[in-house]
Amino acid sequence: MQRQLSLDILVDDEERRRSLCDDVRAGLSSPKKYIPPAWFYDEAGSRLFDEITRLPEYYPTRAERAILTRHASDIAAATRADTLVEIGSGTSDKTRLLLDAMAAAGHLERIILFDISREVLADAAEHLNLLYDVDVHAVVGDFRHHLGNVPAVGRQLWAFLGGTIGNLLPAGRRQLLECCRRQMGRDGRLLLGTDLVKDVGRLLAAYDDASGITAAFDRNVLAVINRELHASFDPELFDHRAVWDADERWIEMRLRARRPHTVVVEDLDLVVSFRAGEEILTEISAKFTPSQVAGELVGAGLAPRAVWYDDDDDFQLTLARPLPLVQGDLGPRPES
């Protein structure tokens, strides 16, 4: 008998629209214009991201896959988890290495996937439900706000892969890690993928590839705003740029206006003027040192237990467990 497949929608169409309106109004009215990266991932954006992961310049996916290929069984053995919770799960492609190892160890009982992009999430959940003989629960939510709704069942391994944590500012990273720690329970574990600081030329190439797929991904966010908020962006009036900020140690993806022009966002009654060369910040992607990863985990109440690298030391996977901060604060969770 095929196991259960369920979908929990924490961000419905109305909520999604409200949140897009808030983000676009705030971001395009700011003196330094920005659009949060969560809005890249409509169906087209998720497909483009999938193409990015296969580009020769985009090393993070290959590096993380290499670590998982080598160490997934160590992770399964170390955690003895029966429930995989993946946040920002996307296609969950690499995750199958972990799931195979958990299933081979005889522990795997359920999978919980959490992502903002409903279509990609639903496809991934259906696919995993066919592949593994376990219940799959998909949650459409924003990991900045809704992790408290992840069902507290089983012995959980939380996976946050792809270096997606680097898309958050330091305060957001801390908040998210603290929330993971609280929610995973005393026996829970976190597997965190972080991209490491490296040669700037390689970093820039990974975010501005020769075939222009990353540029198309970046400009797609303007198409999302056009479609959902009846805006008049001409994506071709913007150049994609990747810039390394050496002080912050992050890559910035920016869209730079080629010439002065005005954009109307009808649904917000908003008129936005661009000077020639004016930029919209669309993503930061922070790069880490190993000691910084450890520091941020400990700062959020998580103790690193094991760390793995790929052969080129491009990427790091860290397995962490919750530290009891205040006596009793990690008591048994109510089962839901």
Binding residues for ligand SAM (CB under 6 A):
38, 41, 49, 53, 61, 88-90, 94, 115-117, 142-144, 161-162, 164
Nearer to ligand SAM, 53 or 129 (CB): 53
CB of 2 to ligand SAM, least distance (A): 25
d(CA 320, CA 183): 14
Residue number with the shortest CB distance to ligand SAM?
Answer: 162
CB of 80 to ligand SAM, least distance (A): 23
CB of 334 to ligand SAM, least distance (A): 24
Taking the mean position of all CA atoms in its chain, how far away is CA 74?
24
Nearer to ligand SAM, 140 or 263 (CB): 140
Nearer to ligand SAM, 83 or 89 (CB): 89
C-alpha count within 13 angstroms, C-beta hemisphere, residue 25: 11
Pairing of strands 261-265, 238-245: unpaired
CB of 40 to ligand SAM, least distance (A): 7
Entry field: residues in the chain: 336
Nearer to ligand SAM, 189 or 272 (CB): 189
Q: Which residues contact 110 (CB under 8 A, 6 or more apart)?
A: 82, 83, 84, 134, 135, 136, 137, 153, 154
Nearer to ligand SAM, 109 or 195 (CB): 195
Q: 251 phi and psi, to 5 degrees?
A: -85, 140
CB of 323 to ligand SAM, least distance (A): 25
d(CA 270, CA 28): 9
d(CA 257, CA 276): 6
Q: 107 phi and psi, to 5 degrees?
A: -100, -25
d(CA 83, CA 121): 17
Nearer to ligand SAM, 156 or 164 (CB): 164
CB of 251 to ligand SAM, least distance (A): 13
